């Protein structure tokens, strides 16, 4: 396991109104990983980022980044952290290149036009460098914010809902940008409520809800632990009961016997293999079918089931 780059220890935040937005969060982020913080709106994702980046004052707990305690050594830590906020907040009248150069200076680095050019090119913003930010599309504004966050060459980058409200193509573009970060060894913490995004990008996923970090695990491990295969086999003619050959499988008849439903496996692909076996058994038993619909459960399903379990537990 590589070194810890960020350590949250018992981090809590109670807003002045009394709302507990973070509740005893413990989390260690390792160097170079892409970590997705997944949770519904209002879960506390932005608050968590804010606490690390200096926008929110924690009520209790400690935050260490690069070994520096943020309560005391915030200058050293902040110099190495970049933040792309959830809202598209930029000085609309400023030209792109100047805005990015400003960010670099603000973080205490000497001007480096070549470096700024490289950043703008990597984000396909170079031909817009002299445009005022207000003249850009939403997707480009988001990239300007990323360029600003990268201008001081941070080792740790926060992306708060980087693809909220952008279309599929732009979302793919964002994934490509995160891949670039990964290649450069930048540690990325992103928040999202698009499960697809966490699934596509992250090495590890943390699920947060009502300020509590419910679960943190490697993406694959989480899938293996909680993943399911679900298959629906439409039959050529209805069955009144399950044939004995299928008794060993987690399967049931539905829709008045016109369809078989399989739910099993564990997210490692075992389910798919079983579905294949079931089709062979069906043919062996002389049962004809018209179609098969197989679906691997996504993080979304995991998420929903996790939250469901939580909900069922008495308070």
Site residues (vs another protein, CB under 8 A)? 15, 47, 50, 53-57, 74-76, 78-79, 81, 83, 85, 87, 89-93, 98, 102-103, 105-110, 148
CA distance 177 to 179: 5
Residues forming beta bridges with residue 297, ordered by sequence position: none
Residue 209 binds ligand ADP (CB under 6 A): no
Site residues for ligand ADP, 44-63, by CB under 6 A, read: 44-47
Helix (H, G, I), strand (E, B) or coil at 189: strand
Residue 297 binds Mg ion (CB under 5 A): no
Residue with the two structure tokens 């308070």? 315
CA distance 190 to 201: 9
> Judged by CB under 6 A, which of 1, 2, 17, 183 binds ligand ADP?
17
Question: Is 39:45 a contact under the CB 8 Å cutoff?
Answer: yes
Q: Which does 198 bind (CB under 5 to 8 A by kind): another protein, ligand ADP, Mg ion, none?
A: none
Q: Which is nearer to another protein, 78 or 219 (CB)?
A: 78
Q: Which is nearer to another protein, 12 or 268 (CB)?
A: 12
Residue with the two structure tokens 């350590």? 7
Q: Which is nearer to another protein, 92 or 283 (CB)?
A: 92
Q: Which is nearer to ligand ADP, 161 or 274 (CB)?
A: 161
Q: Which is nearer to another protein, 151 or 181 (CB)?
A: 151
Q: Which is nearer to another protein, 92 or 176 (CB)?
A: 92
3-state secondary structure 87-123: CCCCCCCCEHHHHHHHHHHHCCCCCCHHHHHHHHHHC
Spell out the alpha helix ranges (H) of the chain.
45-53, 74-78, 96-106, 113-122, 138-150, 168-184, 195-201, 219-226, 270-284, 299-312
> Judged by CB under 6 A, which of 11, 21, 150, 198 binds ligand ADP?
21
Question: Is 97:103 a contact under the CB 8 Å cutoff?
Answer: no
CA distance 267 to 253: 23
Least Å distance, CB 122 to another protein, is 20
Least Å distance, CB 27 to Mg ion, is 17
Question: Is 154:81 a contact under the CB 8 Å cutoff?
Answer: yes
Q: Which residues bind Mg ion (CB under 5 A)?
A: 45-46, 86
Q: Which residues bind ligand ADP (CB under 6 A)?
A: 15, 17, 19, 21, 39, 41-47
């Amino acid at each position: 396991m590589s070194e810890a780059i960020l350590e949250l220890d018992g981090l809590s935040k109670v807003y002045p109104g009394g709302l507990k937005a973070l509740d005893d969060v413990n989390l260690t982020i390792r160097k170079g990983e892409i970590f997705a913080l997944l949770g519904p709106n209002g879960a506390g994702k932005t608050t968590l980022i804010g606490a690390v980046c200096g926008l929110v004052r924690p009520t209790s707990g400690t935050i260490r980044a690069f070994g520096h305690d943020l309560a005391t050594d915030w200058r050293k830590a902040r110099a190495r952290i970049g933040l792309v906020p959830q809202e598209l907040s930029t000085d609309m009248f400023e030209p792109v290149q100047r805005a990015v150069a400003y960010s670099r200076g603000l973080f205490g680095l000497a001007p480096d036009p070549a470096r700024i050019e490289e950043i703008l090119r990597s984000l396909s913003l170079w031909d817009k460098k002299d445009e005022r930010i207000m003249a850009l599309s939403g997707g480009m504004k988001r990239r300007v914010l990323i360029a600003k966050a990268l201008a001081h060459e941070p080792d740790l980058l926060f992306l708060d809902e980087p693809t909220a409200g952008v279309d599929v193509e732009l979302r793919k573009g964002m994934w490509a940008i995160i891949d670039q970060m990964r290649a450069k060894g930048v540690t990325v913490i992103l928040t999202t409520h698009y499960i697809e995004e966490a699934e596509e990008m992250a090495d590890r996923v943390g699920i947060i809800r009502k300020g509590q970090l419910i679960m943190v695990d490697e993406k694959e491990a989480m899938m293996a632990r909680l993943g399911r295969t679900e298959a629906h086999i439409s039959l050529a003619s209805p069955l009144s009961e399950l044939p004995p050959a299928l008794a060993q499988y987690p399967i049931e008849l539905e829709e008045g016997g016109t369809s078989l439903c399989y739910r099993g496996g564990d997210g490692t692909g075992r389910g798919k293999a079983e579905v294949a076996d079931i089709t062979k058994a069906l043919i062996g038993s002389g049962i004809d079918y018209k179609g098969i619909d197989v679906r691997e459960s996504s993080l979304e399903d995991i998420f929903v089931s996790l939250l469901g379990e939580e909900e069922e537990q008495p308070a």
